[in-house]
Amino acid sequence: MQQRRATSQRKDPRRCCRLCGGSRLSSVVTLHDMPVSHALRRSAADPDPRFEITFESCERCGLLQIVDTVDPAILYGDTDTY
Chain residues that interact with Zn ion, rule: CB under 5 A: 17, 19-20, 22, 58, 60-61, 63
- The residue (of 14 and 42) whose beta carbon lies closer to Zn ion is 14
Annotate 49-66 with b (16+ C-beta within 10 A) or e (fewer).
Answer: bebebbebbbeeeeeeee
By C-beta, is 26 or 81 nearer to Zn ion? Answer: 26
From the CB of 19, what's the least distance to Zn ion, in Å? Answer: 5
CB of 21 vs Zn ion, minimal distance in Å: 7
Q: Kindly tell me which of 17 and 39 has the beta carbon lying closer to Zn ion.
A: 17
DSSP per residue, 39-78: B--SSTTS--EEEEEEEEEETTT--EEE-SPBPHHHHTST
